[in-house]
């Protein structure tokens, strides 16, 4: 594909400095380490756990395979800088969250490089709403139990009740990007529908967090 022709001028300009470095250090479409689980267990398979508390915790741990995947974590960093790739290294070039999550007002805005769709020839992820989660939604550096408590806390989850949280997990399209992340990136385990069903079953069993 003659990709330079179809990149917007702005993106092309912004990539001049980063792309050669990027392309030199890794080949486009490389396979990533298959160390993480690729699949999610069906909700019904948790019926075997008779104790409801234990079942709820096991369901959240299953959901944690997605939540703790780099596809989600990279946008839920502990600082004001995103991370990237399977190893969650600091974003290159240096960009910051800014007041609205879309980057510094007079600096590099996310949409300068991240467009509405993934741009596979240069490995640039895309989505119309591509921006960084607010700092109170930081997940990196926290245990799964701490993330779990945070997800239940309206002060730290964007004021969502549990019905809204289920809907967000199952249907939000920025969350959904995690399963279609473009060339050279490992999708989150399972499917968004399976993940939504596990999260819903966790809520319905009392939303118990791992210790
Ligand atoms: C491109 C960046 C980006 C990616 C990738 C991303 N998020 Fe988020 N996330 C955000 C932003 C921005 C918000 C706040 C706006 C909102 O609530 O929609 C958010 C909010 C959330 C919230 C609600 C608040 C909270 O933390 O309780 C949840 C839940 C969530 N994301 C889950 C996920 C999951 C699961 C994945 C991976 C499958 C994911 N996100 C991937 C940017 C991202
Ligand atoms: C100058 C261009 C540029 C700007 C501006 C930019 N990015 Fe990126 N971003 C990239 C490129 C290129 C990649 C792909 C790097 C790679 O994996 O090879 C990337 C990757 C990412 C990833 C990693 C996705 C993953 O799971 O691997 C996240 C998260 C991200 N950017 C968030 C942001 C956010 C949030 C902003 C705005 C605050 C932003 N970026 C601004 C160029 C940019």
d(CA 61, CA 79): 25
Per-residue pLDDT for the chain (211 aa), expressed as one digit of tens each?
A: 444 443 444 444 444 444 444 443 333 333 333 345 799 999 999 999 999 999 999 999 999 999 999 999 999 999 999 999 999 999 999 999 999 999 999 999 999 999 999 999 999 999 999 999 999 999 999 999 999 999 999 999 999 999 999 999 999 999 999 999 999 999 999 999 999 999 999 999 999 999 9
- Compute the distance from residue 9 Cα to the ligand 1 centre, in Å: 29
**Rounded Cα distance, 32 and 87, in Å:** 10
CA–centroid distance for 39 within its chain: 16
Q: Are 53 and 202 in contact (CB under 8 A)?
A: no
124 touches ligand 2 (CB under 6 Å):
yes
Rounded to the nearest angstrom, the distance between the alpha carbon of 71 and the centre of ligand 2 is 12
Q: How many A from CA of 50 to the centre of ligand 1?
A: 32
Label residue 51 left, alpha or beta by phi (over 0 means left) and psi (-120 to 50 means alpha): beta
């Amino acid at each position: 594909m003659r990709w330079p022709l179809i990149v917007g001028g702005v993106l092309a300009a912004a990539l001049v400095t980063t792309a050669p470095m990027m392309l030199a250090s890794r080949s486009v479409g490389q396979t990533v380490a298959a160390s993480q689980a690729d699949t999610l267990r069906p909700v019904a398979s948790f019926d075997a756990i008779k104790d409801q508390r234990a079942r709820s915790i096991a369901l959240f741990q299953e959901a944690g395979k997605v939540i703790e995947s780099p596809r989600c974590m990279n946008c839920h960093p502990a600082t004001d800088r995103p991370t990237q790739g399977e190893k969650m290294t600091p974003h290159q070039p240096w960009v910051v969250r800014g007041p609205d999550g879309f980057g510094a007002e007079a600096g590099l805005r996310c949409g300068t490089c991240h467009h509405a769709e993934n741009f596979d020839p240069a490995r640039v992820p895309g989505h119309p709403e591509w921006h960084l989660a607010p700092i109170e939604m930081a997940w990196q550096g926290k245990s799964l139990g701490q993330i779990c408590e945070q997800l239940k806390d309206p002060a730290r989850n964007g004021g969502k009740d549990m019905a809204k949280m289920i809907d967000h997990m199952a249907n939000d399209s920025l969350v959904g990007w995690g399963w279609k992340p473009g060339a050279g990136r490992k999708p989150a385990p399972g499917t968004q529908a399976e993940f939504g069903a596990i999260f819903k079953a966790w809520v319905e069993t009392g939303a118990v967090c791992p210790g």
